[in-house]
Structure 1
Amino acid sequence: MSPQSAAPSLPSWATWWQRPFPNANTLLLPGRQPALIDSGFVGHAAETAAWARSQAGDVALVLNTHWHSDHVGGNALLQARGAAIAAGTPEAEAISRRDPGCCAAEYLDQPVAPYTVDIPLDDGQVLRLGDTDWEVVRTPGHTPGHLALWQPEERLLVVGDALSDYDVGWVNLALDGLDAAAMALASLKRMADLAPRVILPSHGPMPADPAAAFAGALRRAQRLVDDPDGAVWYGARRIFAFALMIREGIPADEVEPYLHARTWLTDAARLLDLASEALATELVTTMLGSGAVVLRKGRLLAAADHTPVAAETLRVPYPRAWPSVGPR
């Protein structure tokens, strides 16, 4: 393997767990105050907690790059076992007031178990994670509260869903405004300027060449700015594929009724100036045609590698039914 393609190396005090969907990758920082960055999907919360404990003992802090279901699913269990939760201030405030839109859980139909945020995070804040200091870098775009984490001595950059070796995060133009794609692009430029030695993305492997990964991500992000309709389609494909993953597919004759009931699809259809029914049909047809979804034994399934989810683990309340947060 050439030096250019060699896998990046992490210091001994960082433990990386690359996980298939529907989980986000997890970074564990053992030490006097063991910290976990992102906690996976609710259906695998017990697995996340057991792994972290086997590696570092009791987790003192869970820090979320953002509040989507694949990043916060272990929060409730780990918090019940004594961990504090840290998140970007906009998301922390919404969770504290139990905003029905928390985590976009109901909007995306992606379950999240109730949790609270103990430590709101602002841009430039320095945190002790494990035995090392990390700087919070606000990187809105994929969500308004999305953040990255920068470790300057080792030049490690946790980027959340902002980019991966093969992709950039989808943007929600309906919920977050038409400038969400431009914000995501600006966030990528800010992160690229840090010139990290190692990029730690939420999905897929650590890129072998960080500069090349940023160059590719900037091109993709610019396309989302230049083509808002393409950005809407991109998000719809990602959301629908995730829905299929966490349910081990949906019966073929129930797929379009399922889609018709989704607010995210209604919003996407409005932005594309299509009828919801027409968008649902086209979404299924194009994803079958591309191989992103497959029809097998009467069920439509996501083709991407993913870990099965037990159906009973999805039975958690939407945020509008979460218990209120008392004084802290």
Structure 2
Amino acid sequence: MSPEPSRPALPSWLTWWERPFPDANALLLPGRQPALIDTGFVGHADETAAWAHAHAGTVGLVVNTHWHSDHVGGNGLLQARGAAIAAGTPEADAITRRGPGCCAAEYLDQPVAPYTVDLALDDGQVLRLGDSDWEVVRTPGHTPGHLALWQPEQRLLVVGDALSVYDVGWVNLALDGPDAATTALTSIKRMADLAPRVILPSHGPVPADPAAAFAAALRRAQRLVDDPAGAVWYGARRIFAFALMIRDGIPADEVEPYLHARAWLTDAARLLNVPPAVVATDLVTDMLRSGSVVLRDGRLHAAADHTPVAPEALRLPYPRAWPATEPR
């Protein structure tokens, strides 16, 4: 048998932090213009800031691959310490307007500390991050403003949640429309065409074989296109598992009331054309059967490795209660 391929070598001028859920991985680029790509979950913002300070001294710019809670949780703290925040259009514009749907925080019931966006990023824009130039590549699908970052000299590609070694990003057919899965597939094809030497995903390890990782991602994304109901269930499983992670589980007798109160579950039921109560019951049953959730000490827990979150981190206001911003 041939040996398993090893992870491609990373340049010495970047620092990579592979983090367990509920945090996204972080990429730090020290240098003359120190930058951090994604800031993890708000419950671990102090840890994120301390890590960045230890490795770079300061952070002048934060770039978010997209606005979900596991990617923007340290934004507010780092911005208060002097960092500017950059995000892809249209998410940057929505944050500036303080729209109630910002970060899908209320929809997903995931806390996000208030922040503002200083720089809206467009496709093809070049950013100096650390001491190297990176190109913004718009990759909508997982969210409308999702972006990748491409460093052509070293052929490094930050892919956000578009793909990892074990899955592709879930798509929200309710909020983003029935073509969201096709949009995500197109974005993965666009990234694959860059033929990167290194893929830097937001979750899980750096893939040892980028071409194989893209081939698997394209197959998975095509399945979401071909099976819209399967895409709805896939998203529901991911959202619910994350809810369990950040809450240290949910008491078993409170799980279904919790699910019945969620807008995302109501939307899933509508798309599946079944009652919400059926979706809630089937979701829990399916995830227990698959082992992705476990019942322990009277609470339902996510089985995937994750880092505990202090309960007070969940008490932040939703974006509709964030302070207003001045028009840019």
**TM superposition score normalised by structure 1:** 0.99
Deviations 1:118-159 (A, max 9, x none): 000000000000000000000000000000000000000000
Partner of 1:235: 235
Partner of 1:247: 247
- When structure 1 is superposed on structure 2, of 3-12 and 161-170 the one drifting more is 3-12
What SS does the corresponding residue of 1:110 show, helix, strand or coil?
coil
Partner of 1:48: 48
Aligned mates of 1:2, 1:72 — CA distance in 2: 41
Trace 1:28-177 onto structure 2 (pairs within 5 A).
Answer: 28-177=28-177
Aligned mates of 2:62, 2:241 — CA distance in 1: 27
Partner of 1:181: 181
Residues 119 and 3 (structure 1), Cα distance of their counterparts in 2 relative to 1, 3 Å cut: farther
Partner of 2:23: 23
Aligned mates of 1:49, 1:272 — CA distance in 2: 42
Deviation, structure 1 residue 326: 2.3
RMSD, aligned α-carbons: 1.0
What SS does the corresponding residue of 2:230 show, helix, strand or coil?
helix
Aligned mates of 2:7, 2:61 — CA distance in 1: 28
Partner of 1:205: 205
Deviation, structure 1 residue 314: 1.5
Deviation, structure 1 residue 8: 1.2
Deviation, structure 1 residue 209: 0.1
Q: How many aligned positions are there?
A: 328
Unaligned runs of 5+ in 2: none
Q: Percent identity?
A: 83
Deviation, structure 1 residue 176: 0.1
Partner of 1:259: 259
Deviations 1:49-105 (A, max 9, x none): 000000001100000000000000000000000000000010000000000000000
What SS does the corresponding residue of 1:5 show, helix, strand or coil?
coil
What SS does the corresponding residue of 1:28 show, helix, strand or coil?
strand
Aligned mates of 2:34, 2:172 — CA distance in 1: 33
Aligned mates of 1:94, 1:250 — CA distance in 2: 31
Deviation, structure 1 residue 327: 4.9
Aligned mates of 2:111, 2:313 — CA distance in 1: 9
Paired residue type of 2:285 = T
Deviations 1:143-187 (A, max 9, x none): 000000000000000000000011000000000000000000000
Aligned mates of 2:230, 2:34 — CA distance in 1: 41
Deviations 1:294-328 (A, max 9, x none): 00010000000000000011211100000000255
Unaligned runs of 5+ in 1: none
Residues 148 and 34 (structure 1), Cα distance of their counterparts in 2 relative to 1, 3 Å cut: same
What SS does the corresponding residue of 2:90 show, helix, strand or coil?
helix
Contact kept? 1:4, 1:209, Cα under 8 Å: no
Deviation, structure 1 residue 4: 5.9
Contact kept? 2:96, 2:327, Cα under 8 Å: no
Paired residue type of 2:95 = I
Contact kept? 1:87, 1:121, Cα under 8 Å: yes
